[in-house]
Amino acid sequence: MSGPRDLEGTQPPLLYPPYQSTIRRAPAQPLIRLPEHLSALDEPVYGWWPLGATDNDLTRQHQDEPQGQRIIVAGRVLDEDGRAVPGALLEIWQANAAGRYRHANDDHPAPLDPNFTGAGRAITDADGRYEFTTIKPGAYPWRNHENAWRPAHIHFSVFGTSFRTRLVTQMYFPDDPMFPYDPIFQSIRDERARQRLVSRFDLGLTRPEWALGFSFDIVLRGEHATPFEGRV
Amino acid sequence: MTGGKPLIATPAQTVGPFFHFGLTREPRGRMVDAAPEGEMLRLSIRVFDGETQPVNDAMVELWHDGAFGRMPTGADGACEFEMRAPRPKQNPPQLPHTNVCLFARGLLRHVFTRMYFAHPAQLADDPVLALVAEDRRRTLLAEQDGSDPGRWTFEIHLQGTRETVFFDL
């Protein structure tokens, strides 16, 4: 279903039949545009739990270190004008190195890792920066179609300044050979928008003798609707 | 940096079926309220798909008056909240309501709706409900329990003859 929020293919449509779960779950009626002056968007979010010391280091949440390639994922949260969004809460979750989630409903026959939960949180600093240390997640099969595999990804949930900027998305890794076969990634028609979901290998972030670095900036929707034209 | 041109926002991707250990490890059914006043109410939200099957892997977020709640749905597609009744809005006047964000496997991006606490006869008075066809306005009404006035229920139907009205921000 196309609507204003599709923004010329830079956001996913609600109905995308190659991703089968959308067929019975995508609203069929057109969305109703909510005029800006009728939506109080500046509501603050109260009562976040305080962050713990290892919340942004998923390799130090257990007795021993998890299996897998240690990585650093870092970047900035920006608004559509390129300004830093400080104080944004990021929550991430992911499969382990073998492609298995610590979740009762994940029945993929790959091993769980007793030293890896796969969940983390961080809050952006004054420059909008965040950083996580984790391990590279494995790809895993799902049953959307014959021989379907998800490219390796880390789920991100971001709270900006209001619920207009609320974002749940997934971060991918560069040059994943499964991109062409993944309907969730391919649901974004605009190539430049799709590339926003792909992290970049960053030698500057890479720590010698320790961990590979991947940079991933996140651009949140603005508080005010701006036309699609001329976006970069 | 951007030459004055706005950036393309990062696209949404589905929350998927396995978010629980990341997002709802500490359930927040009891909403934290910045300015506690007004009656407490208990709310049960149920989510259904286009075949009226319960959606048992959704996540519901509620926002109003600076308060926030977030719960996963269970096997019956339901989740429970405790909250202060939302206050009527001014400038322009709007009936008391809660903002609802719904995330689920099969929703490539989250959908947004409103849940109103009002009498069906009042609905034409609200400027947002006035944008909605009359026969669909009731999909946005929470229903008060006949015998327990502190208890409310709200059904979200993603498709079908009772499809909930969803908004575009």
* DSSP letters for B3-21: TTPPPPPPPP----S--HH
Res. A35: pLDDT tops 70: yes
Position A3 pLDDT exceeds 60: no
Residues 6+ apart with CB under 8 A from B28: A47, B68, B69, B70, B71
Could you tell me if B69 and B90 are in contact, meaning their C-beta atoms sit under 8 angstroms apart?
no
pLDDT value at A196 more than 90? yes
* Per-residue confidence in pLDDT tens, chain B, 169 aa: 456 778 999 999 999 999 999 999 988 898 866 566 778 899 999 999 999 999 999 999 998 887 889 999 999 999 999 998 888 888 788 999 999 999 999 999 999 999 999 988 888 889 999 999 999 999 999 999 999 999 999 999 999 999 999 999 8
pLDDT reported for residue B31? 84
Number of domains in chain A: 1
In a domain, A225, yes or no: no
**Which of B11, B105, B167 is closest, CB to CB, to A197?**
B11
What pLDDT is attached to residue B113? 96
Tell me what pLDDT residue A36 has: 78
Q: Which residue has the higher pLDDT, A208 or B86?
A: A208
**pTM beyond 0.90:** yes
Distance between CA atoms of residues A211 and A72, nearest Å: 6
Task: Confirm whether A150 is a catalytic residue.
Answer: yes
Tell me what pLDDT residue B88 has.
85
Q: What is the CATH number of the domain that holds A201?
A: 2.60.130.10
A101 is catalytic: yes
Instruction: Verify whether the Cβ–Cβ distance B5 to A230 is below 8 Å.
Output: yes
Q: Are B10 and A196 in contact (CB < 8 Å)?
A: yes
Per-residue model confidence (pLDDT) at position A88: 93
A140 is catalytic: yes
CA distance A87 to chain B (A): 16
User: In terms of CATH, what superfamily is B20-157?
Assistant: Aromatic compound dioxygenase (2.60.130.10)
Averaged pLDDT for residues A93-110: 96
**Within 13 Å, how many C-alpha atoms sit on residue A160's CB side?**
26
Structure tokens at B7: 């950036």
Domain-embedded: residue A60: yes
Give residue A45's pLDDT.
60
Q: What distance in Å separates the CA atoms of residue A204 and residue A226, rounded to the nearest whole number? A: 34
What average pLDDT is seen over chain A? 91
- Given CB atoms, is B121 within the 8 Å cutoff of chain A? no
Whether residue A118 and residue B22 make contact (CB cut-off 8 A), yes or no, is yes
Residue B115 and residue B133: Cα distance in Å, rounded?
16
Q: Does residue A111 form part of some domain?
A: yes
In the predicted model, is pLDDT for residue A4 greater than 70? Answer: no
- Domain containing residue A97: 45-219
Whether pLDDT at A1 is above 50: no
Q: Is A5 on the interface with B (CB under 8 A)?
A: yes
List the single residue in B26, B89, B166 with the smallest CB-CB distance to A27.
B166
- Domain segments of chain B: what residues? 20-157
pLDDT value of residue B85: 87
The alpha carbon dihedral of A228, B131, A44, A158 has a sign of: negative
**Span A128-174, pLDDT tens digits:** 999 999 999 999 999 999 999 999 999 999 998 888 889 999 999 99
The region that residue A194 occupies, defined by phi over 0 for left and psi between -120 and 50 for alpha, beta otherwise, is alpha
Report how far residue B86's alpha carbon sits from residue B84's, in angstroms, rounded to the nearest whole number: 6
What value does the CA radius of gyration of chain A take, rounded to a whole number of Å? 18
- Residue whose pair of structure tokens reads 């909008």 in the numeric block: A128
Cβ-based contacts of A221 with chain B (< 8 Å) = 9
